[in-house]
Amino acid sequence: MLLAVDAGNTNIVFAVHDGTEWRGTWRVRTDAERTSDEYAVWLLALLGHAGLKPTDITRCAIGTVVPAALYNLRRLCRDWFDCEPLIARASLDWGFEIRVDAPHEVGADRLLNALAAHQRYRGPLVVIDFGTATTFDVVHGDGAYLGGVIAPGINLSIEALHRAAARLPRIGIGRPQAAIGRNTVAAMQSGIYWGYVGLIEGIVARIRAEFDEAENGRLKVIATGGLAPLFAEGTTIIETTDPDTTLDGLRLLAERNPAPTLVRHSRRDETLP
Positions marked catalytic? 109
Q: Name the strand (E) or helix (H) holding 224.
A: strand 220-224
Could you give the strand order of the β-sheet that contains 59-64, starting from the edge strand earlier in sequence?
22-29, 11-17, 2-7, 59-64, 86-87
> Strand 220-224 vs strand 125-130: parallel, antiparallel, or unpaired?
parallel
Rounded to whole angstroms, the Cα distance separating 199 from 220 reads 17
CA-to-CA separations, 269 to 39, 72, 197, 266, in angstroms, rounded: 19, 12, 48, 5
What is the length of the chain? 273
Rounded to whole angstroms, the Cα distance separating 131 from 134 reads 6
Buried b (16+ CB within 10 A) or exposed e, 66-94: beebbbbbbbbbbbbbebbbbbbebeeeb
Instruction: Quote the crossing angle between the two packed helices 245-256 and 108-121, to the nearest 10°.
Output: 90
